[in-house]
Structure 1
C-alpha cells in the first residue's frame, strides 16, 4: 500500500470511529471514549490537523486528555462497560448454542477487559471525581 493510500485509509478509519463515538453519546449501549481513542490514534498516524481537532474538541477532548495524561476511566464509563459485558454474557448464555469452550473463551476475554477497565483510576489523584 502506498503512503498516500495508508493516509486516506487511516483518515477514513478515524472519521468512522468519530461517528461511532458520536452515536455513543446518544445511545447508552455504545461506548464513546474507546471509539474516540481509536479515532485519535488513526488521526495521529494520518493528520495532525484532525488529531489536534479531536484532542482539543470542546465535548470529546476532555475524556481523551484525561486518558492520555492520567490513564483515567470515569466511573460512569466503568459502570456502563461492565454492565454491558455482563448483559451480553447473560444473553449469549441464555440464547446461544455456542459450545462450552466458546462460552468459556468469551467469558475469559470479558473478564480480562473488565479487569483492565476496573483497574484504571476513576479520577486524577488529589482531584475531585470525574462524572
Structure 2
C-alpha cells in the first residue's frame, strides 16, 4: 500500500508523538509506540528490531504482541490520566454534551485497558 519510506516516516512520527506523550498527558504513549513498531515492521526491519530491543520501549511491545498484556502500573497511569483529564473538563465547565462524550470514551477505553492481562 505505502512505499517503505512512508512507513518509516509514519513510524518516526508515531514514535516522536509517543515520546512527547511521556511528558504530555494528553498523548497516549503506549498506543503510539505500538503503532511505531507496526509501521517500522512494514518499512524498516532494522528500526523495528531497534525498537523491540530498546530498554524502555521493547518490553511493552513484546508483552502486547505475545499476550496482549499491559503492565499494571501503565494501566493505573492510563486510568489516572483519563480521570485527571475528565476532572479538568469539569473544572473548565465544559458543555454537558462534551463531558458526556468524554465520559463514554473514557469508560470504554478504561474498561478495555483494565481488562487486558497484566504484563
Shift in CA distance, 42/94, structure 1 to aligned 2, threshold 3 Å: same
1:35 lines up with 2:32 in the alignment: yes
Larger Rg: 1 or 2? 1
Is 1:49 equivalent to 2:69 in the alignment? no
Query: What CA RMSD, in Å, does the superposition of the two structures yield over aligned residues?
Result: 2.1
1:115 counterpart (106, 111, 114): 111
Q: Output the TM-score relative to the length of structure 1.
A: 0.77
Tell me the CA shift for residue 28 of structure 1.
7.2
Tell me the equivalent position of 1:71: 68
Q: Secondary structure at the match of 1:18?
A: helix
Task: Count how many residue pairs are aligned between Structure 1 and Structure 2.
Answer: 118
Structure 1: tracts of 5 or more residues without a match: 124-131
Q: Separation in 1 of the partners of 2:2 and 2:114?
A: 38
TM-score by length of 2: 0.83
Aligned-pair CA distance for 1:122: 1.2
Aligned to 1:84: 81
Query: Aligned runs of 1:100-111 on 2, under 5 Å?
Result: 100-111=96-107
